[in-house]
Chain A
Amino acid sequence: MKAACAVLTVAGLAASLAAQPRIAARMDCPATVEAAQQPRVALVLEGPQAAPVSGRLTLTFTHNAVNGADDPAIQFSNGSRTASFTLAAGSTRAEAALQSGTVAGSIRITAALESAGADVTPSPAPACTITLARAAPVITDLRFERTGSGFNLYVTGYSTPRQVLEARYRFLPKSGYQWQPIEIVLPQETLSSRFTDWFRSGTSAQYGSQFTLLQPFTADQNFYTIGSVVVTLRNAEGLSAEKSVTFP
């Protein structure tokens, strides 16, 4: 009697599967992406369907940073880590945009499909992985602020490994003044621990790998001859591009 029930159950399951065929589909994604970009991903059906197909894309992130953290900026353009879609009958491609964030790691996107109220997700489910590599720091903004004893420099940027080891400042004279550029290097011992403290703080996680470095300087009475400063940052991946600001 038990054997007969088992046979009936299997037969019922097979009949159910036959009634709800899976829809062949794949994800179309770039293999790699730069930080702070908005790549597009697509679910592609292998062939047109007679009925509409809807579904959901789900995004997960696994960091590969020195000081790891999830980056809440990694999300679809709807501000969520899931995005719904509906394909009209005959359509084969549904696209979505996402934000890549600023932390090194892997962004995995998985699709689930429904048609006529039934799950038609193939097995394995369509999925793809986008890699955001560890890279040299990027300086997005450099600002100057006069103080009573000199000036402050505000260096804003991001570093996908969530690490910055060194800062270099090269001061150049104003037009009409002649002196050799002044190079100041903030070595690893001075700077690295400050960045590590920031990237390991609970507050920093919401900003991904973004930061602002406030570097105060004292200057003597010839301060007025400084025309500009060029700043670069370094992490284990290399040197950032130069960023400069003109002194007033």
Chain B
Amino acid sequence: MRRVAALALSLLVTLTGAQSQLKIAVLEGDRAVNDIRKRTAREPVVEVRDAADRPVTGASVTFLLPDSGPSGVFPNGSRLVSTTTDENGQAAAIGLRPNTVAGEFQIRVTASYQGQTASATLTQTNVGTPPSRIPGKLIALLALGGGAATGVLIATGGGAPSRGDGQPARPVITPGTPEVGRPR
């Protein structure tokens, strides 16, 4: 997991529920400008901390992009990805790519740990015009390469099936779009 100096913290947000002492510090990706033509975006990185400002390992972190307008997509094709903080309390939305709509948008980050929750918002801006044509396979390769380089646990993609000690790795689970209807 990448180390980021404390001075780089651009946001420290404590929100949510009563008596929740969980905090989200946005380390990277806030106020970033994404290139629509190159389909590149600044990947959000956050750090989850407890009341004593200590990093929280194993917290669930969800990144949510807008459904419409300027936005982006994660490598799983969804606008929502869930991951878990590493030993430094950090989590990243690896493989974020902008869509083809220029403008400013918000990325909503929610963290949860042992019944406590916190949330934060990042702002990014898509600029430029869409490329005339980019082969889909090339995009996929670029996205996969980006994810592998950072080593951050993400909730999508193949990942290593084994931890190296004979135990299978923790499964990667990604929520899809929920539906609500009549009781059945």
Contact = CB atoms under 8 A, between A and B. Distances in A.
Are both chains from one complex?
Answer: yes
Interface of A: 150, 154, 156, 158, 164, 167-169, 171, 173, 177-187, 189-191, 194-195, 197-198, 203-204, 207, 210-223, 225-226
B180 interface: yes
Interface string B147-178: 00000000010110100000111111111111
Given A190-B80, A222-B170, A215 B184 contact: no
Given A156-B183, A182-B173, A219-B171, A191 B178 contact: yes
A190 B178 contact: yes
Interface residues of B, number: 37
5 contacts: A180-B84, A183-B60, A194-B180, A214-B181, A220-B173
A216 B177 contact: yes
Interface stretch (B24-32, B97-105, B108-116): B108-116
Contacts of A210: 182-183
Contact of A187 (B110, B161, B170, B182): B110
Interface of B: 58-60, 62, 64, 76, 80, 82, 84, 108, 110, 112-113, 117, 119, 156, 158-159, 161, 167-184
The winner among B110, B159, B169, B181 for most chain A CB atoms within 10 A is: B181
Contact of B171 (A185, A216, A222): A222
A184 B175 contact: yes
B122 to A, nearest CB: 14
Given A190-B80, A215-B175, A221-B161, A182 B170 contact: yes
B161 A189 contact: no
Identify the 3 closest CB pairs spanning chains A and B, nearest first: A183-B60, A216-B176, A179-B170
A214 B178 contact: yes
Contacts of A177: 167-168
Given A156-B183, A156-B184, A177-B168, A216 B119 contact: no
A222 B184 CA distance: 29
Nearest to A184: B82
Nearest to A204: B182
